[in-house]
Structures are given as C-alpha cells and as structure tokens.
Chains A and B, each alone.
Chain A
Amino acid sequence: MSTGARVSTGARVSTVTTPAGRMGALARAELTLFGRSKATLFSALFVPLVVPISTRSAFPESDLDEAGLTVGLVMLNAAIGFSLLFAVYMSLTAIFTARREELVLKRLRTGELRDTEILAGAAIPAVVTGLLQSLLLAVGLTVLVDVPAPEAVHLAVLGVLLGLVMCVVLAAFTASYSRTVESAQVTTLPLLFVSMFGSGIAVPMEVLPDRLASVLALLPLSPVMKLVQGGWSGDLSASEALGSMTLALAWTLAAVFAVRRWFRWEPRH
C-alpha cells in the first residue's frame, strides 16, 4: 500500500458524472456479463430465433386464410413476441434477481447511481438485444418468407418500443418476488404462458373464439402485439391504435407502481 491516499480534499478538480455516463458504464458491465453467461445467451439469442420457425407448421394454412393471415405474418408475430419474452422479460428477471442476491444492487445504491438508473442501465443490453432481434427477424422473414412490407411501420415500431419498456418493468416486478435465479425460471412462467397463448404470440388471436379473444385482448402484451400486427396489415384504425397504446401504457404504469412499492434492493434478512 502506498501513501497516495494523502490527497487534499480541498482540491476537487473533478469530472462530474452524468446519468447517461453512469448508465452507460453499468450497461457496459452488464454486456460483458451477458457474454459470459451461457444460459442467458441461449435463452436470449437462440430461443427467439428458433422457436418462431416451429409455429410455421402449427396451423393449417386454410385456417389462417379464413382469418386473413399468412404463415409469414404468424411467424413474424411469434418472432417479435418471443424476443420480448425471452430476450427481455425472462433474462432481465434473472439478471435483476441475481444482482440483488449477489448484493450488487445494494452496493450500487451506495454510489451516485439513482435507483431508476440502476435498473435502466442494467436493462440496456437486453433491450438492445430485443430491439436488434425484432429488426433482424422482421427483415429476415420479409426476405425469406413472403411477408409483405409493413403498411404502417410507425405502429409496429411503437408497439415494439412499448413492449420493450413494459417487459423491463415487468421483469423488475417479477424479480421482486423471485428469491433466486432458479426460482426466477418459475416465476416468469405465468406471464410467459399467458402471453404466448393469450396475446397472439404462439396462437393468433384470430383463431380464438371472439368472446375469449376480447377478454384476452386486455392482457399486458396483447396491445403490443396488436400494434405490431396492425403495423404490418395497416388495418388498425386510429382509435384502435390509440386504445392499444393507452392499454399498454396503463399496464406499464401499473407495473412501475408495483416496482416502486415492492421491489427489494437486497436479499431478505
């Protein structure tokens, strides 16, 4: 140990940190960790790229034709939905839980990072992954599987962005009642299954009975998927689009409230 610690506290010529700088540093560290965790890499990168292909043969084309859908559009919805669920929601639930149990969140809170910056900064790599994946899958499917060009790109983009934010907040909420990374694999299942089958990700809403579909349309990811689908088909009216946006925002705000109320920054004593 040296005597370099003898620094006058009076002379503080200093670089003052900014929220963007702090979150960037955290994001960089999380990105490094992301690359070092095989489990996260698998569920975040592999699953969303492979699973949608399996939906290709799930529904007879005749049924889809009747509902005004094509195989390509079904795969596209599945691709974006799985990307939101696996690359963002599930991996972030595990990350938030792991960092809390490792006392990383508690240690970070002793520094200059604000609470929201900690969660947002740690979420950046997953959000960027989800965004790039959605983009890549959309372009890939358009080129490879006769998906028509989107009629209203802005709605699809809006849907994906809302979905990303919502999944980050829902992940923080789910982490607040997940005790370990292992239990986070279980606590994420309800939303995963409900969304896959009820929000038009693995099963198109159009093949479900109308009354059931109108109830399921209230699920968190349903408005997101509706915006994405509407973005491609272009047959979403302005009021429908606004309704979906409002519903997605309402879910996000409810989740924000729940996180502020129940999120734990350190393990239970």
Chain B
Amino acid sequence: MDSNEHEHVIEVTDLRRVYGGGFEAVRGVSFSVARGELFALLGTNGAGKTSTVELLEGLATPAGGRVRVLGHDPYVDRAAVRPRTGVMLQEGGFPSELTVAETARMWAACTSGARPTEEALGLVGLVRRAGVRVKQLSGGERRRLDLALALLGNPEVLFLDEPSTGMDAEGRRDTWELVRSLREGGTTVLLTTHYLEEAEQLADRLAIMHDGRIAAAGTPAEVTASQPSRISFELPPGYFVGDLPPLAELGVSGHEVDGRVVRLRTRELQRTATGVLMWAARAGVELHRLDVRAASLEEAFLRIAREASGAPATERERV
C-alpha cells in the first residue's frame, strides 16, 4: 500500500460510460496522471469530462475499461481510496438550511485526518461567512465551500470538476493561487474546466475531450504546437492571390480566400510573415486588416470542436 510505489496515481485505460438511455458519454478514454502532477480535462459542455471524472471518483462503475486511483479500483475499494482523495463535484450538494460552519463540522467528522474546520474555511476565505446558511451564499461562495470540504482531509489526490465556475474574477485568481500552492505541496490534481485560460495557467498536462473521446493531449505547449499559426490580410486593390510569392516557398501549409481576405496557415510563422511583409514592401502596398496570430490553446480547442462536430455528424446522429 506504499503510495510512492505508484508512479501513476491515476490510470485510465479505454474507459467507457453508457447511461441508462443508451447514450455513450465516454467512448474509450485513456490517460494517466503522475504523482504531483496537475492534469486538466478540457472540453465543451457535454464533451464527457464530468462523466469521466465521476468514474475516477468512484461514483459509478464504467461500462468498459479500467480505472485505478492510487492503485485501487475507486468504486470497489472505496474504503481504501476515499480517505486519500478530495472531491469537488461540478455542482456541490449541501443542505441549504445548514450554516457553513455546521456543514464543515459534519464533513470533518466524516473525513479521516481532517484539519480544523476554521483552517479549511480559511484556505478559501470563508471564515467570515461561517455563521451563514448555505442557501444565502452566492454561487461563488458555494464553490469555495465545496473546495474547502474537498481539502479537509489533506488529500493526496484532488478531483476538481469546474472549480471556478460561477466565481468572480478575483475568486477565480484566488482559487488558482490555492490550487497552485496545493500542487507545490505535492498534491496530485485532476481538474476539468471549459476555461482555456485556467488550463493554460495551471496544467502540467492536459487533454481536450470532444464527444466522449480525447481529441488531443500533451503539455499545453505541445497541444498548442500541434496547431498551425495564422496570418490574414486584405488583398490590396488590383491584386490577386496569384500575385503573392509561391505559397509553398513561404512555408504556408494551407490557405483560403474569403472575398478580398486571404487566410494563410503555417507552422513556420516567422518565415511566412517575413515573406508576406517583404512582398508587400517590394510591391509598395499596404495590407489592411493584417492579423498575425501565433498558435494558441484556444485555436487548438476551437479547431477540435469544429472539426470533430463537423466531420462525424452522421455518427453523432446515430446515438
């Protein structure tokens, strides 16, 4: 049971989840998370993030595939796993008529090795709201309470399902700061989010999910690098695409023309941009609406969402 033996704290192999109506929410997902790593599952609503995380949390059994958390099946061996994990569901459930302090006290009594409740509430800045009933909390405060309870037992593994949803900008920064400090302290974190910035800021590695599958995975830099950069501009009057230098020589991997606007895709941004600008300088023309954009996680995300939902539409309809 020595936890350090497990290089991978979370191991997911060909995971599948099918709901009662036959809807296949998770369709063969595999990934692993090393000790101390922060792994983000990114995706649009309905991509299957929560369905996947719930299987890792041991709330349901998979229809296929295998999950191991700290070397155990989180559903079958829950007694072994639960004292070492902390969970924040996408939508926390707390009786609305209990106060923050009463809720925390109840959870602390159900959590092995719980830290003092004031300490946990202090981590998320809720100490001053301790006497307030849960129903009077704002959406963001409820998320903070949920996070505080997930942290009560100093978990080795933390599951955060859209932790900052409903928080204001400041709350989101605070939460990121807290998650970072937990990671520095050695906590393994699995986080889902549909905020790209959140994944970019926090994740060591991430996977983009779409339609129940992982469409791209790697470090934020790797996932970003897999995407082309873009240059777009308006052709000067009297000029056509054919007037540009041969696109292949500029390192362009693809292009499209939309009215007077030209869009170029490239994996060699500097070479392409230089070529285009030199050409414009030589021709003595000004490129209106010039936009040079390095590849970003957002590009990757939007492209995956677009491609995946465009191409296999027939397959989706079958579901």
Contacts and interface: CB of A to CB of B under 8 A. Distances in A.
A63 interface: no
B295 interface: no
B97 to A, nearest CB: 5
B123 A17 contact: no
B185 A8 contact: yes
B84 to A, nearest CB: 8
B265 to A, nearest CB: 40
Interface stretch (B61-69, B105-113, B252-260, B307-315): B105-113
* Chain B interface category by residue count: 35 or more
B191 to A, nearest CB: 15
A4 B110 contact: no
B279 interface: no
B82 A112 contact: yes
B87 A110 contact: yes
A70 B305 CA distance: 77
A25 interface: yes
Given A9-B154, A29-B98, A111 B89 contact: no
Nearest to B152: A111
A33 B95 contact: yes
A103 B92 contact: yes
Contacts of A114: 78-79
A233 to B, nearest CB: 43
A114 B77 CA distance: 11
A211 interface: no
Interface string B183-199: 01111000000000000
B109 A16 contact: no
A261 interface: no
B177 A15 contact: no
A14 B91 contact: no
B156 A3 contact: no
Contact of A17 (B111, B146, B156): B111
Contacts of B58: 110
Interface string B109-128: 11111110001001111000
B76 to A, nearest CB: 13
Contact of B83 (A2, A4, A16, A110): A16
Nearest to A98: B95
B239 interface: no
B107 to A, nearest CB: 7
A265 B89 CA distance: 14
B177 A33 contact: no
A7 B105 CA distance: 20
B95, B98, B110, B125: residue with the most chain A Cβ atoms closer than 10 Å: B110
Contacts of A116: none
Interface string A249-269: 000000000000000010001
A9 B156 contact: yes
A3 B97 CA distance: 31
Interface of A: 1-9, 12-17, 21-22, 24-26, 28-29, 32-33, 36-37, 99, 102-114, 265, 269
Given A107-B146, A112-B112, 20 more contacts: A4-B123, A5-B151, A5-B178, A5-B181, A5-B182, A6-B181, A7-B185, A15-B112, A15-B113, A17-B109, A17-B111, A17-B112, A24-B109, A29-B103, A32-B102, A36-B97, A99-B95, A110-B87, A111-B107, A114-B79
24 contacts: A1-B123, A1-B174, A2-B122, A5-B123, A5-B187, A6-B181, A6-B182, A6-B184, A9-B186, A13-B113, A14-B112, A17-B112, A26-B106, A29-B103, A32-B102, A33-B95, A33-B97, A102-B93, A106-B59, A107-B89, A107-B92, A107-B146, A108-B93, A111-B87
Interface of B: 19, 57-59, 78-79, 82-83, 87, 89, 91-98, 102-103, 105-115, 119, 122-125, 146, 151, 154, 156, 174, 177-178, 181-182, 184-187
